[in-house]
């Protein structure tokens, strides 16, 4: 692909009288950029049931959203680590919007009843969303850590190494807490120099810091803007988990999951793990 300039685009539009270019010397530029041929050859249903195509493609769309959200959260984490609150706000706000799009994906599966799912479910074998490595990256970045969920990937060395790196690294919330400390809030050293592979436990000092942050409601309060951006991310992620539970309840009830879990009950328990906990509990004291 060859980059173009605004001048070239204006000249081309003038030469064509405003009509789109329809002749190209090689591959259509759009296909070269988006790799549409690759994308549209990734759907390989295992059954003849037409409903499986919806299930498969929407699952693939969700995987792409997981990658996009993970990309944004990593950028936000890096900005927070560098004490650049303003630079962190844009990727966090984009994250919330991407999660909103991800949540909208569930609408494409609302047609699925248990009988619809059962027509192709056996063909999936042990395949389960529980085994999504990109979703694990997303959870680790949000601070939800569980060493047991690394086990499915032990025989995929590259995937396992990358997940271990995410698992052992600080989360967005860890970097937020460190930022609060650098901005003068009384955060204990034990929260700043801890083992990041362990899930963060809510702490009253962090809760108190957020109460203090929100006392200043001026439009120049960067930390308050950060709090609101994080709140939107947590809220949209909560919606994702709720809609996941609702989709499972709709399509299979309380049957065992394909990946060996007890399905609905396992998902409902996972919803109890709160993202950015002190940001929510602090609201009681504001």
Pick the closest to residue 77 from 136, 156, 5, 140 (CA basis): 140
Which stretches of the chain are DSSP H helices?
6-15, 29-34, 36-39, 51-81, 85-104, 114-121, 133-142, 157-168, 172-182, 189-192, 204-215, 222-252, 264-270, 277-281
- CA–CA distance, 255 with 261 (Å, rounded to integer): 10
Q: Which residues are CB-neighbours of 54 under 8 A, at least 6 positions away? A: 108, 109, 111, 112
Residue 121, annotated as binding a ligand: yes
- CA–CA distance, 166 with 163 (Å, rounded to integer): 5
Pick the closest to residue 240 from 106, 138, 111 (CA basis): 106
Q: Is 55 helix (H, G, I), strand (E, B) or coil?
A: helix
- CA–CA distance, 198 with 215 (Å, rounded to integer): 31
Q: Which residues are annotated as a binding site for heme?
A: 244
Q: Which residues are annotated as a binding site?
A: 121, 244
Q: Which residues are annotated as a binding site for substrate?
A: 121
């Amino acid at each position: 692909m060859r980059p173009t300039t605004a001048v070239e685009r204006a000249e081309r539009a003038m030469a064509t009288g405003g009509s789109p270019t329809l002749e190209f010397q090689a591959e259509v530029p759009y296909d070269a950029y988006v790799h549409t041929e690759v994308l549209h050859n990734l759907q390989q249903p295992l059954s003849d049931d037409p409903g499986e195509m919806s299930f498969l493609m929407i699952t693939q769309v969700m995987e792409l959203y997981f990658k996009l959200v993970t990309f944004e959260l990593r950028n936000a984490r890096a900005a927070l680590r560098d004490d650049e609150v303003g630079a962190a706000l844009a990727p966090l706000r984009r994250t919330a919007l991407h999660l909103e799009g991800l949540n909208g994906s569930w609408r494409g599966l609302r047609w699925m009843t248990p009988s619809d799912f059962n027509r192709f479910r056996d063909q999936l074998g042990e395949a389960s969303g529980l085994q999504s490595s990109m979703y694990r990256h997303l959870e680790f970045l949000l601070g939800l850590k569980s060493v047991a969920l690394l086990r499915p990937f032990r025989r995929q060395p590259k995937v396992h190494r990358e997940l271990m790196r995410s698992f052992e690294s600080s989360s967005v919330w860890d970097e937020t807490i460190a930022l609060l400390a650098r901005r003068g809030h009384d955060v204990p050293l034990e929260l700043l120099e801890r083992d990041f592979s362990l899930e963060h436990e809510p702490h009253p000092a962090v809760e108190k810091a957020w109460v203090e942050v929100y006392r200043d409601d001026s439009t120049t309060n960067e930390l308050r803007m950060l709090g609101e951006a994080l709140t939107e991310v947590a809220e949209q992620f909560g919606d994702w988990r709720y809609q996941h539970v609702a989709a499972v309840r709709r399509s299979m009830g309380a049957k065992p999951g394909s990946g060996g879990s007890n399905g609905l009950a396992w998902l409902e328990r996972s919803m109890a793990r709160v993202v950015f906990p002190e940001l929510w509990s602090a609201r009681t004291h504001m």
